């Protein structure tokens, strides 16, 4: 069933892709223009996706509820990091994401937090002090 659904999804994306490509026109440039190659890619993709819907191959076993929850939690931590990196600044945000991912992976909370703090500080020293990357210590939230 998963394969069939994926086939439908890929078919729709490929169809939209090939359809959109027709609008890309240029009166100058080369003979082929910007739209032919996407159409050449999109149409076989539609055909292959359709064949997966009609003749699905293989089976998929999705993770059970609790595991799915762990994955969702880890993803939430990653997205939170992308959101908070600039406001919080590098060391705080990185310490938090390391600790959070470690705990999702069943690390003991105290040790996980410790690894977060040590890890983020050493990475900050390496990247900001030694390599001179523009990574702020404090984020915009603290006027850094």
Partner 1 sequence: MEILSSLGLGFSVAVQPLHLTLLLFGCFAGTLIGAMPGLGPVNGVAILIPLTFAFGFDATASLILLSAVYFGCMYGGRISSILLNIPGDEPAVMTTLDGYPMAQQGQAANALAISGVASFVGATVAIVGLTLFAPLLARAAIYFGPADYFALYVMAFATIGGLAGVDPRKTLLSALIGLMIATIGLDPATGIPRYTGGSFHLYDGIDPIVALVGLFAISELMFLLEKTIKDRDSAIKLDTWIPDLKVVFGTAWATVRGSVVGFVAGVLPGAGASLGAVMSYSIEKQVSNKNGTFGKGDPKGVAAPEAGNNSASAGALIPMLSLGVPGSGTTAVMLAMLISLNVQPGPLLFERQPDLVWGLVASLYMANVMLLVLNLPLIGLFTRLMAVPTWALMPLVVAISFIGVYSISNSTFDLYIMIGFGVLGYVLRKLDITLVPLVLGLLLGADMENNLRRALSISGGDYGVLVASWISVVLYIATAAFLALSVWLALRDRKRAADAP
Residue 133 as a binder of partner 1 (CB under 8 A): the answer is yes
CB of 137 to partner 1, least distance (A): 14
Interface characters, 63-102, with partner 1 (x: CB under 8 A): x---xx-xx--xx--xx-xxx-xx-------x--xxxxxx
Single out the residue of 15, 107, 117, 138 in contact with partner 1 (rule: CB under 8 A): 107
Single out the residue of 1, 54, 65, 106 in contact with partner 1 (rule: CB under 8 A): 106
Interface characters, 18-57, with partner 1 (x: CB under 8 A): --xx--x-x-xxxxxxx--xx--xx-xx--xx-xx----x
Question: For 40-96, what is the HEC assignment?
Answer: HHHHHHHHHHHHHHHCCCCCCCCCCHHHHHHHHHHHHHHHHHHHHHHHHCHHHHHHH
Exposure string over 7-18, b if 16+ CB within 10 A, otherwise e: beebbeebbebb
CA dihedral angle for residue 105, residue 107, residue 113, residue 117, rounded to 10 degrees = -70
Of residues 67 and 137, the one with the C-beta less far from partner 1: 67
9, 54, 74, 77 from 62: Cα distances, Å: 17, 21, 17, 21
CB of 70 to partner 1, least distance (A): 5
CB of 21 to partner 1, least distance (A): 8
């Amino acid at each position: 069933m998963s394969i069939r659904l994926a086939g439908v999804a890929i078919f729709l994306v490929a169809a939209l892709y090939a359809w959109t490509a027709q609008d890309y026109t240029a009166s100058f440039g080369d003979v082929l223009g910007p739209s032919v190659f996407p159409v050449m890619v999109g149409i076989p993709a539609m055909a292959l996706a359709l064949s997966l819907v009609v003749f699905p191959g293989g089976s998929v076993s999705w993770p059970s509820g609790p595991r799915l929850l762990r994955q969702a939690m880890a993803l939430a931590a990653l997205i939170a990091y992308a959101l908070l990196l600039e406001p919080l600044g590098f060391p705080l945000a990185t310490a938090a994401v390391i600790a959070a991912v470690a705990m999702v992976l069943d690390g003991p909370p105290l040790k996980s937090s410790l690894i977060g703090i040590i890890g983020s500080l050493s990475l900050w020293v390496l990247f900001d002090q030694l390599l001179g990357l523009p990574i702020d210590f404090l984020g915009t939230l603290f006027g850094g």
